[in-house]
Amino acid sequence: MKNRILIVDDSFYMRTMLKNMLTDAGYEVVGEAANGQQALEMAIETKPDLITLDVILPDNTGLDVLRGIRQEQPDVKVVMCSAVGQEVIVNEALESGASAYIVKPFSEEKVLEIVGNALQ
Amino acid sequence: MSNREQEYRELFMAEALEYYDAMSRHISELERNPADEEALRELFRLMHNLKSNARAMGYTSIGEAAHHMETVFGQLRDGQATFTGSMVPVLFGGIDTLGELIRAVGEEQALPDVQRLLDNLDRISRGEEPDLEGEEADDDEDVSRKLELSDLVYIQVRKLDHLMNLMGELIIDRDRILTLSREIDHPALTTAAAHFSRIAEELQYSVMDARLVGVGSLFSKFPRVVRDVASTEGKEVNLTLQGEDIQIDRNILQIITDALLHLVRNAIGHGLETAAEREAAGKPAQGQITLSAQAERDDVLVQVQDDGRGIDVASVRRKAVERGLVTRAAAAQLPDAAVRAFLFEPGFSMAKEVTEISGRGVGLDVVKLAIDSLGGQLRVDSVLGEGTTFTLVLPTSIAVKGALLFELDERSYALPLMHTDSVVSLLPDRFSVVGGVLLTRLQGENVPVVSLRELLQLEGDQVLAPARKATLHGRQDIIIVNYNNRRLGLIVDRFLRQQDIVVKAMSKPLDTIDLFGGVTLLGSGQVCLVLDVPALTRLFLAKRP
């Protein structure tokens, strides 16, 4: 069974790149959300194994989304996507149940390594 | 640049220009209301995204400038500073600079120097005064500053489909107006109709063009497929892609996706031998699969080629007889190409054992059906021991088809050119009758010929009456159609002309008659039935005497 992944990022470019990396590696990308509201809805609808979650989103912060998702689906793995300078948010995310984080700009190897580890 | 790099670049540009527009809007809002929290949050988020995307693309100076801007907007958002005083022109200027940088990347020009901007932004974030000397000199530039919109538009296929349908209606009306203008024969009307016709035609091609995508967008998914299938099958395979830039209608690409997937799996599962078998046969251990596309006149040829064991025609011939698809005597006379065409018959599978990859109950007949539904052709060529090539001949566009118009019993009919081999006009002495079937010799091959009238008049369980040469009087106009490597001559009353037609689905209850692929309206307003060559060929084979 392929692991199913939901991508949450407000940049179409970033989602496309992540999706290509993950599908090329054999994961099934079950959905792409561009904001927090969509992310919460799609997480319930698609029941993914893992969510990649951007820390900065148009409607809520990634942290609010993380907590919302963990409440609904405690088993889902969440990998935070952040950029340099957001260490405070990342630490808070890890305390709130995120499995790991990736720092943008990311390399394909790094993404696959972190996602692979989180799913084990 | 690879297709994917090109795609990323286009996505980056489209989104960066969008961000730039939004940044310009939000900073103007901020000028009116320096405490506008929504605008500050958005500016921070947009800078952040632009930074991340630019760094991923390797555009360092955009990344740096956006990063410094993000820092300042972050401080403003968190209330550590206020949008006022000397920082205002620097931030406005910063967004302008980002716009210039993005445009320069888009036009592949040298990027302007951003050091001065970075220094000023650093000063602002440390709470110092920026260096504004010389800033005013930019005023001239401000006046001539252009408003830039993205050159790229994303559009739902549904909207393109709607445009295409409207265009189909328009083409039918165009033909109608041209005919009317000829009948009325008024100079002003003739000129206007001719102009309208030209514009409509140009519009038709523009709409068709807007729907085209590179086949590479589908091909690029195959390296992964091949790797997976090869490892499951325990085979060594090298995949080569060719002609990724060839353009084709997006919906056609969608429809052939499964067919192509099936052919590639088949090629690895059945076509290629194992490394050991290959080496024993004196071939390189690694098998080659080539997925290629090329444009040929109005068609697109997509080929799946392998250098595997090839198709054993003798074995297919035997199996076709076993399955009762053809008599032993007839099978012996069939050319190899016609024998290989049996592979596309429903349920005719050559796989000796069912493997995980290829033996899922779908056969080549499913591939064939998908191609038929597009009005395309599927061919297979093979040399035993050297390999097999499947060729999909696809129309570039779906809405408009080239067709041959002809008359039968004073009605007009159309046959898609895709399935028309040639038209011939023959005297009765060119025919012979074998086993009740009329035959004529064309290019060294015996081609069965049937009166289309008799074929269309068949009802229920009726079969065709044995043909008699005595019923043929004078020259016979015959259309040679080609389906699945089988040629068949159809005797009609009169050829009319060749014309582009818009095929429309038939309304009930006509849609139950599967001999017709649809209808089209002629300029005269007359309804013209479009014949379905695959169905006609099957009917002939089932009803031959």
A27–chain B nearest CA distance, Å: 12
A43–chain B nearest CA distance, Å: 23
Query: Looking at the structure, do residues B535 and B409 belong to the same domain, yes or no?
Result: yes
Query: Looking at the structure, do residues B417 and B371 belong to the same domain, yes or no?
Result: no
Which whole number is the average pLDDT over A13-39? 90
pLDDT recorded at residue B362? 47
Query: Looking at the structure, do residues B265 and B198 belong to the same domain, yes or no?
Result: no
Query: Looking at the structure, do residues B381 and B431 belong to the same domain, yes or no?
Result: no
Percent of chain B residues past pLDDT 70, beyond the cut: 91
Q: Which residue of B has its CA nearest to A60?
A: B41
Q: Using a CB–CB cutoff of 8 Å, tell me whether A105 touches chain B.
A: yes
Asked whether residue B318 is assigned to any structural domain, the reply reads no
Asked whether residue B151 is assigned to any structural domain, the reply reads no
pLDDT recorded at residue A85? 67
A17–chain B nearest CA distance, Å: 8
Q: In this structure, what CATH number is given to the domain that contains residue B176? A: 1.10.287.560
Q: What is the pLDDT of residues B23-80, one digit of tens each?
A: 988 998 888 888 888 999 999 999 999 999 999 898 999 999 999 999 999 999 988 8
> What would the two tokens of residue B217 be?
């967008």
DSSP letter at A61 equals B
User: Using CB atoms, which residue from A23, A26, A105 is nearest to B55?
Assistant: A105
Whole-angstrom distance, CA of residue B37 vs CA of residue B35: 6
Query: Looking at the structure, do residues B250 and B390 belong to the same domain, yes or no?
Result: yes
Whole-angstrom distance, CA of residue B14 vs CA of residue B153: 8
Q: In this structure, what CATH number is given to the domain that contains residue B387? A: 3.30.565.10
Burial classification of residue B479, based on how many CB atoms lie within 10 Å of its CB (0-12 exposed, 13-18 middle, 19 or more buried):
buried
Domain containing B185 equals 157-211
Query: Looking at the structure, do residues B82 and B113 belong to the same domain, yes or no?
Result: yes
**Complex ipTM > 0.95:** no
Q: Using a CB–CB cutoff of 8 Å, tell me whether B52 touches chain A.
A: yes
Q: Using a CB–CB cutoff of 8 Å, tell me whether B217 touches chain A.
A: no
* Whether B8 and A14 lie within 8 Å, measured CB to CB: no
Q: What are phi and psi of B243, to 5 degrees?
A: 70, 30
Q: What's the mean pLDDT when you consider all of chain B? A: 84
pLDDT at position A112 over 70:
yes
Q: Using a CB–CB cutoff of 8 Å, tell me whether A2 touches chain B.
A: no
Q: Identify from B51, B52, B217 which residue to disrupt to test chain A contact, counting A C-beta atoms within 10 A and taking the largest count.
A: B52
Q: How many domains does chain B have?
A: 4
Asked whether residue B421 is assigned to any structural domain, the reply reads yes
pLDDT recorded at residue A84? 67
Query: Looking at the structure, do residues B250 and B381 belong to the same domain, yes or no?
Result: yes
Q: Which residue of B has its CA nearest to A24?
A: B224
- Which H or E element spans position B483? strand B476-483
Are B319 and B395 a contacting pair, CB within 8 Å?
no
- Structure-model confidence comparison of residues B278 and B142, the more confident one: B278
Which whole number is the average pLDDT over B142-164? 71
Q: Which residue of B has its CA nearest to A83?
A: B52
Query: Looking at the structure, do residues B16 and B97 belong to the same domain, yes or no?
Result: yes
Asked whether residue B345 is assigned to any structural domain, the reply reads no
- Which H or E element spans position B16? helix B3-32
Asked whether residue B175 is assigned to any structural domain, the reply reads yes
The terminus-to-terminus CA distance of chain B in angstroms comes to: 60
* Whether A14 and B52 lie within 8 Å, measured CB to CB: yes
pLDDT at position B134 over 70:
no
Of B191, B211, B231, the domain-final residue: B211
Query: Looking at the structure, do residues B8 and B137 belong to the same domain, yes or no?
Result: yes
Task: Tell me the CB-side half-sphere exposure of residue B320, using CA atoms within 13 A.
Answer: 24
Q: Using a CB–CB cutoff of 8 Å, tell me whether B4 touches chain A.
A: yes
Query: Looking at the structure, do residues B107 and B139 belong to the same domain, yes or no?
Result: yes
Q: If you search the block for the tokens 């692991």, which residue do you land on?
A: A3
Query: Looking at the structure, do residues B429 and B359 belong to the same domain, yes or no?
Result: no
Q: In this structure, what CATH number is given to the domain that contains residue B492? A: 2.40.50.180
B444–chain A nearest CA distance, Å: 51
Asked whether residue B518 is assigned to any structural domain, the reply reads yes
- Structure-model confidence comparison of residues B151 and B456, the more confident one: B456
Q: Which residue of B has its CA nearest to A106?
A: B56
Whole-angstrom distance, CA of residue B260 vs CA of residue B219: 9
Q: Identify from B26, B43, B48, B75 which residue to disrupt to test chain A contact, counting A C-beta atoms within 10 A and taking the largest count.
A: B48
B53–chain A nearest CA distance, Å: 7
- What is the edge-to-edge ordering of all strands in the sheet holding B437-442? B420-426, B476-483, B486-492, B445-451, B437-442, B431-434
Q: What is the pLDDT of residues B266-277, one digit of tens each?
A: 899 888 999 999
Nearest to B366 by CA among B228, B251, B261, B289: B261
Q: Using a CB–CB cutoff of 8 Å, tell me whether B176 touches chain A.
A: no
* Sequence-separated (6 or more) residues with CB below 8 Å from residue B62: B16, B50, B51, B54, B98, B101, B102, B105, B111
Domains and CATH numbers, chain A: 4-119 (3.40.50.2300)
B35–chain A nearest CA distance, Å: 18
Of B111, B144, B177, the domain-final residue: B144
Q: Using a CB–CB cutoff of 8 Å, tell me whether B495 touches chain A.
A: no
A55–chain B nearest CA distance, Å: 10
Q: Using a CB–CB cutoff of 8 Å, tell me whether B9 touches chain A.
A: no
Alpha helices in chain A (DSSP H): 12-24, 36-46, 62-72, 87-95, 108-119
pLDDT at position A22 over 80:
yes
Asked whether residue B341 is assigned to any structural domain, the reply reads no
Percent of chain B residues past pLDDT 90, beyond the cut: 27
* Whether B11 and A56 lie within 8 Å, measured CB to CB: no
Query: Looking at the structure, do residues B121 and B207 belong to the same domain, yes or no?
Result: no
Neighbouring C-beta atoms of residue A75, cutoff 10 Å = 7
Asked whether residue B462 is assigned to any structural domain, the reply reads yes
Identify each DSSP E strand in B384-444 by its residue range: 387-395, 400-408, 411-416, 420-426, 431-434, 437-442
Q: In this structure, what CATH number is given to the domain that contains residue B91? A: 1.20.120.160
From chain A, the residues in CB contact with B7 under 8 A are: 16
Q: Which amino acid is at B402?
A: G
* Whether A105 and B15 lie within 8 Å, measured CB to CB: no
